[in-house]
Chain A
């Protein structure tokens, strides 16, 4: 069985501040991990993915995430938040032939 826990359903940062969205996973097989972003009334957009290559993964829009097996974590970061980053973010694990999503984190960016 696999599961994903996103710590913090709402995160608020100021424009230009560091963004940190937390994700912990549980998987009985080597995990394939993903971060998606969803803007209102739109589908999912893949930000980045970890598929057992480099543990530090760089994605689009300046986001990156680090896979830490010892901590079973895959936290998403961005050095400097932009107003356009305000959205819903989902961490997901793909294994045993299906995707399992966290509950999502709403990122608010204050001017």
Chain B
């Protein structure tokens, strides 16, 4: 099956700093990647969708200047949380899909804690 690797699995950063999370498709070309945020005891909330080489499409209410998404290649997308604050602490999950595919494949998630 298709494998998506997300790194790091856990990160702690100081308030005001930026942190980058990577999402890689290891054995397939991901034309589309997705970033989700999951609050405790809640479902996954889609933050943005990115297509390789294009600007990401953000869901309503998601601050594009705070959550920078780059999908520079068919195997790598990054999410940068800029000027992080404690309220940005959450579980972030990426997924990746092939063009014309029937499913998306999920990374293991990143637990971000801002102190």
Contacts and interface: CB of A to CB of B under 8 A. Distances in A.
Main SS at interface, chain B:
strand
A98 B49 contact: yes
A23 to B, nearest CB: 13
Given A32-B102, A43-B93, A51-B102, A101 B107 contact: no
B93 A49 contact: no
Please indicate which of the listed interface residues A43, A46, A98, A102 has the most CB atoms of chain B within 10 Å of its own CB.
A43
B103 A98 contact: no
Interface in A20-66: 32, 34, 36, 41-44, 46, 49, 51
B34 A104 contact: no
A97 B49 CA distance: 10
A90 B108 CA distance: 15
B107 A43 contact: yes
Interface residues of B, number: 21
Interface string B73-103: 0000000000000000001010101000011
A103 interface: yes
Contacts of B42: 103-104
B12 interface: no
Interface string B3-41: 000100000000000000000000000001010000001
21 contacts: A32-B103, A36-B106, A42-B108, A43-B106, A43-B108, A43-B109, A44-B44, A44-B93, A44-B109, A49-B103, A51-B103, A90-B43, A94-B102, A97-B32, A97-B49, A98-B46, A98-B104, A99-B34, A103-B42, A104-B42, A104-B43
Interface of A: 32, 34, 36, 41-44, 46, 49, 51, 90, 94, 97-99, 101-104, 106
